[in-house]
């Protein structure tokens, strides 16, 4: 099968289009013919080697963390899916590889594709929607009437997180650039901070939750908009000891992550708020709930551009510019 691979970690390196063996189908797996895959900044970070410490992949590696496609074969113990089903998924982190014609994924990580979406729209959803769900529903336990600040509202995670938070009934503030103010308002944002004109920490106060996807400066400024007891959740790091413990990392890695997050945890304590790092995980059951929200219109996928499969490197480069509104997708079939 054709696939885009990396042979070694290299910052900014090009992916190689080559032939790769068809994936092994295990007894609990579903084999998909890939129709579309979306491109995430995570793909660039894996290529650059940023996650070598916590995700020790065997090279060469097929990249890609989101998929929509058609089931062509199922393992002997699969009961929920059959050949011909249209499905979508975020594969588990140790079995990525959606930039390819075929992929085998655990049945537990898959959900039926929303009936009201194209393959390209469906492929744009899993990673960012699961990130938003696990941050706002699981970690933050966001409630109706609470106030949440979602940074980078026009990005992949931001566009979904705004809609999910509004569905829950929260008051939503977001940061974005001048060009994207109308977009985030259309998604339901109550307060929009144009970061080119205003400093969010001087405008916002008394928030229950902040979802951060930006750098260290934004992370630390976010502490000042939270009320005592508030929650600062970051998907861009630094990883904390709880994350290391949950993932079963050894003592040494736990100490490394303790050191990496020591400063922000200390400052959080000083402000009377909590800090946690989120690295989302595959979850077919949660994706089924997201499917329902898409089919009822509570959430709609936002796609910036669709690239042909052979232009996967160009798609990844476009994502790295940080200018995409919503998601970037590659059409594989």
Full set of structural domains in the chain with CATH: 2-124+302-331 (3.90.180.10), 128-277 (3.40.50.720)
pLDDT per position as a tens digit, 115-166: 999 999 999 999 999 999 999 999 999 999 999 999 999 999 999 999 999 9
Question: Ramachandran region of residue 302, left (φ > 0), alpha (ψ -120 to 50) or beta?
Answer: beta
Contact status, residue 277 vs residue 243, Cβ threshold 8 Å: yes
Output 70-74 pairs: Cβ under 8 A, ≥24 positions apart.
70/32, 70/33, 70/35, 71/30, 71/31, 71/32, 72/31, 72/32, 72/33, 72/102, 73/25, 73/30, 73/31, 74/29, 74/30, 74/31, 74/107
pLDDT, position 194: 96
Q: Among 306, 261, 262, which Cα is nearest to 279's?
A: 261
Q: Among 207, 202, 213, which Cα is nearest to 190's?
A: 207
pLDDT per position as a tens digit, 52-80: 878 889 999 999 999 999 999 999 999 99
Which residue shows structure tokens 């895959």? Answer: 37
Mean pLDDT, residues 261-266: 95
Q: What one-character DSSP code corresponds to residue 309?
A: G
Q: What are the Cα distances from residue 175, in Å, to 225, 268, 274?
A: 13, 21, 21
Contact status, residue 202 vs residue 238, Cβ threshold 8 Å: no
């Amino acid at each position: 099968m054709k696939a885009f691979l990396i042979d070694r970690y290299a910052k900014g390196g090009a992916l190689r289009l080559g032939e790769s063996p068809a994936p092994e189908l295990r007894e609990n797996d579903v084999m998909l013919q890939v129709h579309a895959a979306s491109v995430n900044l995570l793909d660039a970070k894996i290529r650059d080697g940023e996650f070598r410490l916590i995700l020790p992949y065997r090279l060469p590696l097929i990249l890609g963390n989101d998929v929509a496609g058609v089931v062509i074969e199922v393992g002997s113990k699969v009961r929920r899916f059959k050949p011909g089903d249209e499905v979508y998924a975020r594969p588990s982190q140790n079995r990525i590889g959606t930039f390819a014609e075929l992929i085998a994924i655990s049945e537990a990580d898959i959900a039926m594709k929303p009936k009201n979406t194209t393959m390209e729209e469906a492929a744009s959803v899993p990673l960012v929607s699961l990130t938003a769900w696990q941050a706002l529903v699981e970690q933050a336990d966001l409630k109706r009437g609470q106030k949440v600040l979602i940074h980078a509202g026009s990005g992949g995670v931001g566009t979904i997180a705004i809609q999910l938070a509004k569905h829950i009934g929260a008051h939503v503030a977001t940061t974005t650039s001048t060009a994207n103010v109308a977009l985030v308002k259309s998604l339901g944002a109550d307060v929009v901070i144009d970061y080119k004109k205003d400093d969010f920490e001087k405008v916002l106060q008394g928030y229950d939750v902040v979802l951060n996807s930006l750098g260290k400066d934004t992370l630390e400024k976010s502490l000042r908009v939270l009320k005592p007891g508030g929650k600062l959740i970051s998907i861009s790091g630094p990883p904390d000891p709880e994350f290391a413990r949950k993932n079963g990392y050894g003592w040494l890695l736990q100490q490394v992550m303790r050191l990496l997050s020591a400063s922000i945890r200390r400052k959080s304590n000083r402000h009377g708020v909590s800090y946690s790092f989120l690295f989302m995980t595959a979850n077919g059951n949660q994706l089924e709930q997201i499917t329902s929200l898409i089919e009822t219109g509570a959430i709609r996928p936002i796609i910036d551009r669709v690239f042909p499969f052979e232009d996967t490197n160009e798609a990844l480069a476009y994502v790295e510019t940080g200018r995409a509104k919503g998601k970037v997708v590659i059409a594989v079939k």
